[in-house]
Structure 1
Amino acid sequence: MSPPDTDDFDPIEATVSDVHAAYEAGETTAEAVTDAYLSRIAAHDDDLNAILAVNPDALDRARELDAALDRDGLVGPLHGVPVVLKDNQDTHDMPTSAGSTALAESRPSRDASVVARLREAGAVVLAKANLQELSFGVDTVSSLGGATRNAYDRDRRPSGSSGGTAAAIAANFAVVGTGSDTCSSVRSPPAFNDVVGVRPTMGLVSRTGIVPLSETQDTAGPIARTVEDAARTLDAMAGYDPADPITARGDRRVPDEGYAAHLDEDGLDGARIGVARQFFGLRDDESAPESAAERVTAVVEDAIAEFEAAGATVVDPVDVVDQTRLESARVLEYEFARDFDAYLSETCDAASPDSLAELVATGELHPAVRARFEGTAILDTDADALDENTGYLRSLRRREAVRDATLARLADDDLDALLYPPSRIPPVEIPDNQPFAEMNCELAAHTGLPAIVVPAGFTPDGLPVGVELLGREFAEQRLFELAYAFERATDHRRPPARFDG
């Protein structure tokens, strides 16, 4: 069969609403739209290196959805919407590698909970994206996929670990995508690639079937080109999962009509935004020149003025939490081996490594990822003794203290959100590593509070900068309102020139 005619559908910057309007008007089909995005991946991914594998069944799925549309109408809120998944989210019909050659043939028997929900909503799983191997780092390099490039400057990093998804969505390889976030991963990659990313409140989205780094910090979230599409995607991803008891906290927390139904161009009228100045400026003189941080700060300063012009009251500055206490709430080093080993025991076949230690011992990890294990106690931590590990227990208590302090600051200053840059500096040039010290990922990751990143503008040399808004527990709806109003007032999103045709 010859491929469908895609001339009537333009995939560049297409939204969920655009796609659905075209379906309902009979202007195109899910098969044609899916083929259009597959064609873009084939034409452009050699330049970007964002995709690990395309789904061989994507067109068949699209045809099924076309038949369903003819019979019954749209099957769900993401009917026929091509989605790129971060390749740490289990798919029953494709391998789930976490970017590692050692897991290249690992084929889970069922979908991750978020993937199952997306399919139920009508999505077409188009492809799986490269990531920082095992999600351990912020460069997006892996032994299986190599290095993903920034969509706006191919000589620079896209950040990570969800850099493959962010770069793919920026370059219009799909309508929406998914990432996961332990610390930074659905926030700094969108900021570096001029797209939107959401880290939900812990407990809103299931972690079942996602290759883990830290049970306490891990969550999945949407990556999209618009706030509305991010809201629609989170609508589909969120929900209670008996296999992940923490999601009981998020049960019935999504508005009945969904997040997207409440978006308002005037959402900043009367809003109060606190500027967290402690997250501005270079932290480590060895990370980058001070001028790099100044370029980001200048863009965010302009964005602050734009928030104010759109109706918000800006409270500047706001002191949130002691930085040392914030850093000491990190638990990844204690939980990584325990949680990864549990995933392997439940998911992988006999050909896969039995443990994180065995995987590292294969020598197959990307050198930059392998180096991150050096000088850490990750492989030496006794998982069976964590209940008596004073360092671990202290970090868990500090997480509670940091969360309480952050919520108290929001309450004391009557704030809707805190504002800061997701990264203090722009993307660095390859082969340099993106400095983790300059990432502002820890406040959301260590409190479990929700955050959204939205495009804020560009540096003079054309590199995207994002702004992050952090809100109260399960206040995703308010964050979407604020981000949508800012997006509509400013229109900072623009497709990367190299991939605009």
Structure 2
Amino acid sequence: MNRSSLVLSLLATGLIFAGHASAAETSANPADVWASIDQLQQRMDNGALTTQALVQQFIARIAQIDQSGPMLRSVIEVNPDAAKQAAKLDKQRKGNKKRGALYGIPVLLKDNIDTVGPMLTTAGSLALADHPARRDAALVERLRKNGAVILGKANLSEWANMRSNHASSGWSARGGQARNPYVLDRNPCGSSAGSAAAVAAGLVTVAVGSETDGSIICPAASNGLVGIKPTLGLVSRTGIIPISHNQDTAGPIARTVADAAALLSVISGSDKHDPATAEADKHATDYTKYLDPNGLKGKRIGVVRALAGAEPNADRALERAIALMKAQGAIIVDPVELPHLKELGEPEMTVLLYDLKHDMNAYLATRPNLKMKTLADLIEFNKREAAREMPYFGQELFEQAQAKGPLTDAAYVQAQEKAKRLAGPEGIDAALKANQLDALLSPSWGPAFVTDPVLGDHIVSGDPTVGGASQPAAVAGYPSITVPAEYAHDLPVGIVFFGAKWSEPTLISIAYGFEQHNAPFRRPTFLDTVGGKPQYNDAP
């Protein structure tokens, strides 16, 4: 039995659970694992629930659903200190009148986000599994200061899906293949696969994912969730295993817009160690102030038809969403041209490959205890450990990145300037200005594709050479938010709103207005295949 499995077993049975209050003593309710942040705070404040009991319920579900039963493999490691943290927070709750919004709320972190030991931070790779990080990532420091409980680390597409063009999303050498809780042979999408699957399956209240291009939007949409990809620089990247400083950002994944907004409010803000966040404090706010049930009224929303038309289920969801928005007073401009969509792929990939080498080497230097010092070391490790690290797909993207020169190369400088200009000022900004829009709209992705370790991901919405609906905002560094729209063949389908830099308040208001008049989150049924049989009875 490995360390994580042992911790799961002991915590699930209560043998190493700290403190005096037990789940039984606090009237543990199975509905707690599905409760919103506000609902949980109310129950904790009136004494009906403790953080200890809530953590214990989640640990038990992880053991039952993630490590056995349906075997979601969404959680790569459980925090062995979660019980101790919960006990301390419970003890301090009554005397702490300045509690943060996430006080006592369990949060799962994608396994590319640094946490000081005992948990590891590996991006799913065995290459970084020899020593934990020396300090928490900046966003983790914010979470702890706010009173959140770090429940554990989520599985992910190894190296955030930047090792091979033929990768299977949600697979990592440490965590195995994560599964979609709605239909188990379907993919949870990546790279924040575990973060999304765990939230959808009721294994944690909220999770933090990260995105370079699509890694929050796609898994959130594929698992029936809300995901926010913030403006580049709103959330610090210090202590996050990187791909590209031009596009990387962490962001919330949750079952409701309200919970996502609460999490974003906590993790946003400037960090002296991340220059991109210099203006964050001017824009970071309590995003729950923008949860307006009438948030659609009067908003001008443009439909980017060029990002639709690839998948019929996604298109049907889009049309129904448009009808709902019109009924709630939104002004729909349809269609809207988003310039340069077909021109983003080449400069983006050039930038990502250069950045991967530079940024990875810089990150590894922050963890001197690791044996791996450079991207070249990682490549050699994968070759030595090919049986464990490359059983299905290779590392051609690593090798292409390693062949790149310094960031002063003319090819890099030109590609970086072109990508930002075409996606931002001449792309999203131009479309918004030309049509006097508050936001742009498209399908997020189609229903989740079948997991295929042989051929890799099957992208079913958008052109895979373009990057789907996530690419314009990702390349520009602008915000986007996906919300569930409906279900097709028992699989979730989402829509995505995106807009100008720092427009999170507007997007959250629009998304909340849509959510309040649409069908609520639907719990997954753990079907073995589309039209198949449930593999887990999750009745309360």
Q: TM-score, normalised by structure 1?
A: 0.93
Task: Establish whether residue 97 from structure 1 lines up as the match of residue 122 from structure 2.
Answer: yes
2:238 is aligned to 208
> Residue 378 of structure 2 corresponds to which residue in structure 1?
359
1:191 has 2:212 as partner: no
Task: Give the equivalent residue in structure 2 for 1:133.
Answer: 158
1:324-339 pair list within 5 angstroms: 324-330=342-348, 331-339=351-359
Provide the residue aligned with 2:144 in structure 1: 119
Match of 1:28 in 2: 49
Alignment partner of 2:404 out of 357, 381, 392: 381
CA distance in 2, matches of 1:404, 1:264: 29
In the other structure, the counterpart of 1:305 is: 323
Q: 2:471 aligns with which of 411, 420, 442?
A: 442
Tell me: CA distance 1:494–1:368, structure 2 relative to 1, closer, same or farther (3 Å): farther
Query: For the Cα contact (< 8 Å) 1:456–1:492, is it kept in 2?
Result: no
Aligned to 2:60: 39
Are 2:189 and 1:159 aligned? Answer: yes
* C-alpha distance in 2 between matches for 1:465 and 1:367: 31
- Structure 1 residues 476 and 210: CA distance shift in structure 2, 3 A: same
Letter of the 1:454 counterpart: V
Residue 300 of structure 2, aligned match among 254, 272, 297 = 272
Amino acid at match of 1:40: R
Who is 2:394 aligned against? 371
Q: Aligned to 2:496, what secondary structure does the other structure show? A: strand
Pairwise CA distance, 1:75: 2.9
- The separation in 1 between residues aligned to 2:203 and 2:217, in whole angstroms, is 19
Amino acid at match of 1:414: Q
The residue type paired with residue 291 of structure 2 is L
Distance (Å, rounded) in 2 between the aligned partners of 1:51 and 1:155: 18
- Tell me which amino acid in the other structure corresponds to 1:132: S
Deviates more, 1:268-277 or 1:364-373: 364-373
Q: 1:374 to 1:253 in 2, by over 3 A?
A: closer
Distance 2:190 2:415 in 1: 28
Q: 2:452 & 2:179 partners in 1: Cα distance?
A: 8
Q: Distance in 2 between matches of 1:374 and 1:61?
A: 40
- Change in CA separation of 1:452 and 1:374 when aligned onto 2, cut-off 3 Å: closer
- SS of 2:347's equivalent? coil
2:307 and 2:192 mapped to 1: Cα distance? 22
Alignment of 1:181-330 (within 5 A): 181-255=211-285, 258-282=286-310, 293-330=311-348
Deviation at 1:186, TM superposition (A): 0.7
Contact 2:23 2:54 in 1 (8 A): no
**Residue 371 of structure 1 aligns to a residue in which SS?**
coil
Mapped contact 2:269–2:280 kept (Cα < 8 A): yes
- Which of 525, 530, 540 does residue 497 from structure 1 map onto? 525
Question: How far apart are the structure 2 equivalents of 1:463 and 1:221?
Answer: 23
Aligned to 2:456: 433
Task: Specify the code of the residue in structure 1 equivalent to 2:139.
Answer: V
Post-superposition CA distance 1:136-172 (Å, at most 9, x none)? 2571111111110011111011100000000000001
Partner deviation per Cα, 1:90-121 (whole Å, 9 max, x = no partner) = 00021101100111233111100011111111
Q: Residue 198 of structure 2: SS of its match in structure 1?
A: helix
Matched residues, percent identical? Answer: 38
Secondary structure at 2:517's aligned position in 1? helix
Q: Show structure 1 runs of 5+ residues with no match.
A: 283-292
Alignment of 1:54-133 (within 5 A): 54-73=78-97, 75-93=99-117, 94-133=119-158
Task: Write the deviation string for residues 238-278 of structure 1: whole angstroms up to 9, x where unpaired.
Answer: 001000011012222123xx110231111101011111011
Greater shift in the superposed pair: 467-476 or 416-425: 416-425
Q: Deviations over 1:219-247 (max 9, x none)?
A: 00000110000000000000010000110
Shift of 1:373: 1.7
Please say which of residues 395-404 and 124-133 is displaced more in the overlay: 395-404
Q: CA deviation at 1:358?
A: 1.4
Runs of 4+ in 1 over 6 A off after TM superposition: none
1:181-227 Cα deviation digits (max 9, x unpaired): 00101100000000110000011110000000011110000001100
SS in 1 for 2:227: strand
Structure 2 residue matching 1:231: 3-state secondary structure: helix
User: What is the deviation of 1:382?
Assistant: 1.6
Task: Name the residue aligned to 2:75.
Answer: 51
Q: Residue 288 of structure 1 aligns with which residue?
A: none
Residue among 471, 482, 499 paired with 2:510 = 482
SS at match of 1:496: coil
Paired residue for 2:432, among 407, 410, 418? 410
1:457 maps to which of 480, 486, 504: 486
Instruction: Find 2:441's aligned residue among 414, 419, 433.
Output: 419
Paired with 2:353 and 2:86, the residues of 1 have a C-alpha distance of: 42
Q: Secondary structure at the residue paired with 2:338?
A: coil
Letter in 1 for 2:103: H
1:370 CA drift (Å): 5.1
Long gaps (5+) in structure 2: 1-13, 163-167, 527-535
In structure 1, how many angstroms separate the alpha carbons of the residues matched to 2:435 and 2:101?
Answer: 37
Contact 1:360 1:370 in 2 (8 A): no
Cα shift readout 1:442-499 (whole Å, capped 9, x = no counterpart): 111111110001001111x111111110011111011111111111100241110236
For 2:325, what is the secondary structure of its paired residue?
helix
Give SS of 1:198's match. strand
Q: How far has the Cα of 1:374 moved from its partner?
A: 5.5
- Aligned mates of 2:341, 2:500 — CA distance in 1: 20
1:52-90 deviations in Å (ceiling 9; x for gaps): 100000010001001111322463211100001000000
